[in-house]
Amino acid sequence: MMNIEKLLSCYNPATGEIPGAPVLKRHLSDLKGCFAVVEAYDQVLTQSNPLLYSVSAVEPAGGEGDLHYGVGMIMPGKIGDEYFMTKGHLHSWRPAAEFYFGLTGDGVMLLEDEATGESRMVELRPNGAVYVPGRTAHRTMNVGRTPLTYFGVYPAKAGHDYAAIAKNNFRCVIIERHGKPELVERKTLTPAARHP
């Protein structure tokens, strides 16, 4: 049996912090190529490099049937009409699915089937659980005005593949239109449509 420190960890749902767990912080400069409107990204970056999100990870064991989890916190904010978001990834072990549980704030997840490109926007809210199937790229956005925190549980051997997203990005973009998040195809974002 594992020792008690590995069997229990306590997370702070307001900050996403877990005492003793490593924290990964991503700033705007780490998300080069993620936002659709490059001019808006570059303009903000010349003035500041805000923290977009942090993830604390708990990895009790790395065996075949083991699980890991991460608690994420995404800050509120936008680059142009796009919300602050995560880099997004596929799992290196493609069949690996994941559960996300909303803790605080208002979020959405962008899910994209790797084989078909089919995309969905799913709300990530307190008391809501989002199932991310295997072979599905996933990216999370804060669409509210307060920090978004969430809990993600995934197989220990899932791994993160960022390279595929860095190469082709997601097919769709989630932007704010009339005060609400909307899913649109990236290719429809002509310069005119980008700045309504």
Q: Which residues bind ligand PAN (CB under 6 A)?
A: 55, 70, 72, 86-89, 98, 138, 140, 152, 154, 158, 160
x/- string (CB under 5 A) for Zn ion, residues 79-98? Answer: -------------------x
CB of 86 to ligand PAN, least distance (A): 3
Give the list of residues 6+ apart from residue 153 with CB closer than 8 angstroms, or none. 67, 68, 69, 98, 99, 101
Strand (E) or helix (H) holding 163 = helix 163-168
Cα 17 from chain centroid (whole Å): 16
CB of 27 to Zn ion, least distance (A): 20
Of the two residues 141 and 175, which places its CB atom closer to ligand PAN in the complex? 141
Q: What is the DSSP string of 47-87?
A: H---EEEEEEEE----STT-EEEEEEEE---EETTEEPB--
Edge-to-edge strand ranges of the sheet holding 23-27: 23-27, 51-58, 67-74, 148-155, 98-104, 129-132
Question: 3-state DSSP call for residue 117?
Answer: coil
- The count of chain residues that interact with Zn ion, using the rule CB under 5 A, is 1
Give the list of residues 6+ apart from residue 168 with CB closer than 8 angstroms, or none. none
CB of 132 to Zn ion, least distance (A): 7
Tell me which residues in 95-154 interact with Zn ion (CB under 5 A): 98
CA atoms within 13 A on the CB side of 187: 2
Of the two residues 86 and 104, which places its CB atom closer to ligand PAN in the complex? 86
CB of 26 to ligand PAN, least distance (A): 6
Which residue in 38, 140, 28 sits closest to 80, CA to CA?
38
Residue 55 binds what, of Zn ion, ligand PAN, none (CB under 5 to 8 Å, by partner type)?
ligand PAN
CB of 164 to ligand PAN, least distance (A): 12
Of the two residues 87 and 125, which places its CB atom closer to ligand PAN in the complex? 87
Of the two residues 37 and 124, which places its CB atom closer to Zn ion in the complex? 124
Q: Which residues bind Zn ion (CB under 5 A)?
A: 98
